[in-house]
Amino acid sequence: MNFKLLSASFGAILLSIHTSFGQVTENPKVEESSVPYVKIRKVELTDANTIIHLQFIEKQSQQPQFRSQPRMPAFPDSRIPQPQKQDQSQIWLDPETRLYKPGEIDKKFKFIRAENITTTTKTAVANGDTVDFVAYFERLTPGIEEFDFYEGRSSAGNQSWNFYGIHIKNPLKKDATKSSKPVAKTTAPAKKPAAKPPVKTPQKPAPASKKEIEMAVLKGTIYNGKTKEPIAAQLSYMEGGDTLQIRSSSGKYRVGVDADEKYKFRVMARGYYGSSFSLAPGDSSGKAFNQDVYLTPLIVGETILLPNIYFETSQYTLLPESFEELNRLVDVMRDSPTVKIRVEGHTDNVGDFDKNLDLSRQRAESVKNYLIEKGIESGRIEAKGYGGTRPITKGSEDRKKNRRVEFVITEM
C-alpha cells in the first residue's frame, strides 16, 4: 500500500471533520413559544450557519391549528364567525424570520434557506401528520448562548411560530493571537511602497425593512399576588384583528410587539382572578419593555376589587366600559363552577346616608344581573350594598376610591 496516499487520504478525512464540526445542542431549553405544536429538536452551529431543526405535529386529538384560516379566539365571542373547515392545517416558514439576542433587537441574524418546508406557498398538513424541517440562518456570534426565533407578528388569520429564550452551547472562541509558544521573528524582504487605493465614496446602508424597525419586545413574569411566587398562566392580546395567546408554564413570558400598534393584554390563570394592562410601544424610545403581573388567588374570604366598573352618574345603570371587566369575572366563574361570591357595592359618604346605601345595593344588583344574563346561576351570587360605611380612604382628594364594586369569595 502506498503510505503517502494513505496519509493524504487520512489528512483529507481529518480536514473534512474539522471544517464540518460545530456546536450541537439537542432539545434545547425554550423558555416560551407562541404555539405548542412546533418544537425545536436541535440547534447546530457551523462556521457559516445557525441550523435549527424543527418538528411540526398535527395531532388528531387536539384542536387543529390554522395558519391560513381565522383562528378561534382565546375567549369565544359570538360576534366573531368561527371557522367551518377544521380538517387540516396549512404551514410554511416566513422568509423574513430572524434570530435575535434577547433585549438587543439590533443584533439580528438573517434567514438563509429552509429544507422540507415551503417559504413562498402554503402546504396542507392532514391530522396526525408530522413534518420535520430545517431552517438555516446566519451564524450566531460566539458567546450568544440565548436567542429568540422570531417569525413575525400573527395577522390576517395566520399564526406565527415564535420561540423565546432558546438556550444553546455557543462559547466564546479562544483568542488565536494569544499563543504560549514564541514565534521566531523573520526579516521581511524590502518592498516598494504600496500605491494608495482609490478613495471610494461610502454608500449608505440599505434601510431596514419596516418589519424590523417596528419590532419591540415585551417580557415579564406572572406571580401569585399573595406568595409572590411565579405561576402558570395564559396571556392573550389582539393584534391585526386576531386574538393571540401565549401559555407559560413557568410564569415567564416574552412577546414580540409592533411599535406602531397599541395593545391591551389580558392575563388569566386557573384559580386566580385575571388582570389586564395596556402597552403602546411607540410612546417610548425603548425597544424592550418589562411588565410583571400579580394575580389574586381565589380563596374563601378573599375580597377582590373590580377596578373598571362604571355607572351613570348617581345611577345604577352599567356603562359599556364595564363589560370587559365583568366578562373577566364571568370567565372565572365558568372556569370554577363551585365558586360562590358576594358582590358588594360601596359609595362615598357625601350626601344622604340612606340614599347612598340604597344606591350601593342597586349597583351590586346590577352586577349580579349582568352575570346571570351571561349564564351564571343566580344561586351562586349574592348582592349587598354598604353605602359609605366601609371607606378605604378618608382623604377628600381620594374620595372616588371609596366608590367601588368588590366581590368576596364565599364558597369554593
CA angle, 131 then 86 then 52, to 5°? 20
* CA end-to-end distance (rounded Å), the chain: 85
pLDDT at 111 over 80: yes
Which of 244, 239, 247 has the alpha carbon at shortest distance from 214? 239
Higher pLDDT among residues 401 and 179, named by residue: 401
Average pLDDT of the residues in 47-74: 63
69 vs 91 pLDDT, higher one: 91
Distance of alpha carbon 378 from alpha carbon 74, whole angstroms: 26
Q: In whole angstroms, what is the distance from residue 236 CA to residue 155 CA?
A: 14
pLDDT at 188 over 90: no
Given a contact cutoff of 8 angstroms between Cβ atoms, the answer to whether 135 and 54 are in contact is yes
Per-residue confidence (pLDDT) for residue 198, from 0 to 100: 59
What is residue 19's predicted lDDT score, i.e. its pLDDT? 39
Q: In the predicted model, what is the mean pLDDT of residues 158-178?
A: 78
Report the DSSP pairing between strands 288-290 and 215-224.
parallel
For residue 128, the model assigns a pLDDT of 78
Would you place residue 319 in the very low, low, confident or very high pLDDT band (cuts 50, 70, 90)? Answer: very high
Predicted confidence (pLDDT) at residue 108 exceeds the cutoff of 90: no
Q: What is the model's pTM?
A: 0.55
Kindly tell me if the per-residue pLDDT of 239 is higher than 50: yes
In the predicted structure, residue 137 carries a pLDDT above the cut 80: yes
- Among residues of the chain, what percentage have pLDDT more than 70? 72
Please give the grid coordinates belonging to residue 16.
473534512
pLDDT at res. 175: 57
Q: Which of the two residues, 197 and 82, has the higher pLDDT score?
A: 197
Residue corresponding to grid cell 413574569: 221
Give residue 73's pLDDT.
Answer: 37
Query: Higher confidence at residue 152 or residue 200?
Result: 152
Q: Using alpha carbons only, give the angle 245, 251, 252 rounded to the nearest 5 degrees.
A: 80
Mean pLDDT over residues 229-240, rounded? 85
The confidence score (pLDDT) of residue 138 equals 94
pLDDT above 90: residue 14: no
Q: Which residue has the higher pLDDT, 113 or 209?
A: 113
Q: What is the pLDDT of residue 141?
A: 92
> What is the reported pLDDT for 54?
95
Q: Please give the backbone phi and psi of residue 323, each rounded to the nearest 5 degrees, phi first.
A: -65, -35
Task: Compute the average pLDDT of residues 397-402.
Answer: 76
- Amino acid making up residue 345: G
Mean pLDDT throughout 286-296? 85
Which is nearest to 67 in space by CA: 136, 131, 123, 127? 123
Query: Which residues partner with 111 through β-bridges?
Result: 137
Does residue 123 carry a pLDDT above 70?
A: yes
pLDDT score for 70: 34
Q: Which of 181, 296, 156 is nearest to 239 (CA)?
A: 156
Radius of gyration of the chain (CA): 30
Q: Which residues, in sequence order, are CB contacts of 334 under 8 Å at separation 6+?
A: 375, 376
C-alpha cell at 100: 435575535
Q: Does residue 74 register a pLDDT over 60?
A: no
Task: Return mean pLDDT, the chain.
Answer: 78
Beta strands in 27-157 (DSSP E): 30-33, 38-45, 49-57, 88-91, 98-101, 104-115, 123-126, 130-138, 146-150
- pLDDT at 77 (0 to 100): 42
Q: What's the Cα-to-Cα distance from 196 to each of 188, 199, 200, 203, rounded to whole Å?
A: 21, 9, 12, 20
C-alpha cell at 196: 494608495
Q: Which domains does the chain have, with CATH numbers?
A: 20-167 (no CATH), 213-297 (2.60.40.10), 298-412 (3.30.1330.60)
For the ranges 88-92, 104-108, 173-177, the one whose mean pLDDT is highest: 88-92
Dist. CA 365–CA 386, nearest whole Å: 12
Please count the CA atoms within 13 angstroms of the CA of 17 that sit on its side-chain side: 6
